Amino acid sequence: MSEVVTLGEAMACLRADGPINLGGGAHISVAGAEANVAIGLARLGHGVSFAGAVGPDRLGDLVRRTLRAEGVAVGALRTDPAPTGIVVFEQRMTGVTRVDYHRRASAGGTLSAGDVESAFALHPSPPRVLHVTGVTPALGPGPAQAVQAAVRLARSAGARVCLDVNHRARLWSESTARRTLTALAVQADIVVASEEELPLTGAGGGEAELVAGLLAAGVSEVVVKRGAAGASVVTTRETLHLPARPVTAVDPIGAGDAFVAGYLSGVLDGLPAAARLARGVTTGAFAVACHGDWEGLPTRSELDMLDLPDGSAVR
């Protein structure tokens, strides 16, 4: 049984060993915001189903195999005639990464409302949470309709909807993003955004006004990711903030997705807001401290490892 359903674009990922223009080697893996969250939740022991599309190629096989190996249900991951998309990461220096997408006319952009309806039909009972991001509706009309259909089905089934704004400025104009994301945000139960992304969820004003507007529209909790400064959550009853966990930063890519996985895990476990935030900043720290979008994400038994002193050996 899937506690969580998510949908989006899962891609093959090439991580260059050095500057790409000099040639050299690269590590092949899998990436995609929603796929990262799905893997993070599965490692924490939750049932997760991923809906999407990959190509009839070896890279599509890699995506499917990786998700399945990580415990993510892939019954709703369709094979499309279009090729699997590719994202290339070049860590130019510590803390600075170039990201180059090769997704035009790729399988991920063929996601449709029919895929989502098929995904929900696979489950005898509805999920507890639907997780969507602002990346998917930016991919085109079909993916945008898929997100809207997913939200509609989730709400009709009584599932909670989590929207991570996750804005990609290169995919669409700010005006289109604001219009689409504002409409999605007011249908969500949980809205997650960075400080820079929050203005895309409302009509204007500062952070306090934007958060108040979302809560007044029916959102139950607004979570603000603040990077190295930690994260905050605001509900109608309380406002809480936690600093980031201190770790040596190796690779910042995927930290936001890791945070969302931890936070949603806390939601599924019925934890209070402070404990949900604590789990989110913990999983985010694991991501920052390791190379890769999701490779370093913790299992449930590893959540306490950040509390160990330097030089500890876990035997």
Residues marked active site are found at: 257
| Unique residue bearing structure tokens 């899937």 | 2
DSSP bridge partners of 6? 50, 131
Strands 86-93 and 11-16: parallel
How far are the Cα atoms of 32, 122, 176, 277 from residue 51, in angstroms, in the given order? 12, 11, 24, 27
How far is Cα 58 from Cα 64, in angstroms, rounded to an integer? 10
> Tokens in use for 9?
């674009």
For residues 101 and 138, is the Cβ–Cβ distance under 8 A? no
Closest among 38, 182, 34, 10 to 110, alpha carbons compared: 10
Q: Helices then strands (H, E): number in the chain?
A: 8, 14
For residues 241 and 280, is the Cβ–Cβ distance under 8 A? no
How far is Cα 197 from Cα 267, in angstroms, rounded to an integer? 22
Beta-carbon count within 10 A of 47 CB: 18
CA distance between the termini of the chain: 33
> Tokens in use for 232?
């905050």
How far is Cα 50 from Cα 6, in angstroms, rounded to an integer? 5
